[in-house]
Amino acid sequence: MSLHVVDHPLIRHKLGLLRAKNTAPAAFRRILSEVAALLSYDALRDLELVEIEIETPLEKMRAWRLARPITVVPVLRAGLGLANAVLELLPEARVGHVGIRRDETTAQPEHYYMRLPDDIAAGPVLVTDPMIATGGSACAAIANLRQRGCRDIRMMCLVAAPEGIKRLECEHPELPVFAAALDRTLDEKHYIRPGLGDAGDRIFGT
């Protein structure tokens, strides 16, 4: 697996704002969207293009278009915050949804919803989830996409724990992961330290 920690001054600055416990939900959503846009630049930099002919107001020329349809798949519910930012950049992208919750006792993933385009395997898939903690939800989501025939899958998150990255490396060694930070560890309750709290609760004010 290829872990890419996108090291940029703006990402460092904005991630610090997201980590601060007194950042209100409205500000949290806005800053999260800004960080996601910056991460998207790296996560999508190798998309395949095709050359086409267009006509400008002055003349004909050769230009470029994306070769294959892109699908953004947020892991519900917190992944929606990142997915919405990607859709601002790529409004033509399709959107699938994978609902996976973590059992707070066992820390194991529980599926409760999945809705994906029928031809999702026809192009690249970007999975979004702000936190990779134990890696259980991420691994389960990637496994579901593999079962649908997807081969070009990449994942985008805000912060990851070494334990979650290690699990992804074991189960999906071919997966590129784009993160704003690799944090120190998981605590006994499986929360990322230093982390930023529960991203879903902070996005939606719950």
Query: Which CATH number fits the domain that encloses residue 58?
Result: 3.40.50.2020
25-43 vs 79-89: helix axis angle to the nearest 10? Answer: 60
Would residue 167 show up in a list of annotated catalytic residues for this protein?
no
Q: Which domain holds residue 96?
A: 2-204
Q: How many residues does the chain have?
A: 206
CA proximity to 137, closest of 115, 106, 116, 180: 106
pLDDT of residue 200: 82
107 band by pLDDT with thresholds 50, 70 and 90: low
Q: Active site residue: 106, 119, 184, 185, which one? A: 106
Q: Active site residue: 102, 146, 148, 152, which one? A: 102
Would residue 119 show up in a list of annotated catalytic residues for this protein?
no
pLDDT of residue 100: 80
68 band by pLDDT with thresholds 50, 70 and 90: very high
pLDDT of residue 76: 87
Q: Active site residue: 46, 119, 187, 201, which one? A: 201
Write the CA distances from 116 to 53, 60, 67, 119, 157, integer angstroms: 32, 38, 20, 8, 20
pLDDT of residue 77: 83
Q: Active site residue: 19, 146, 148, 198, which one? A: 198
pLDDT of residue 6: 94
Q: Using the 8-state DSSP alphabet, how is residue 46 labeled?
A: T
pLDDT digits (tens, 9 = 90+) for 173-206: 999 999 999 999 999 888 899 999 888 888 887 7
Write the CA distances from 184 to 162, 181, 195, integer angstroms: 7, 10, 9
Number of domains comprising the chain? 1
pLDDT of residue 129: 93
Contact 206, 28 (CB under 8 A): no
Which string of DSSP letters, residue by residue, matches 101-122? EE-TTT--EEEEEEE--TTGGG
Would residue 201 show up in a list of annotated catalytic residues for this protein?
yes
Cα(16)–Cα(40) distance, rounded to whole angstroms?
19
Per-residue buried b or exposed e for 37-67, using 16+ beta carbons within 10 Å of the residue's own CB: ebbbebbbeeeeeeeeeeeeeeeeeeeeebe
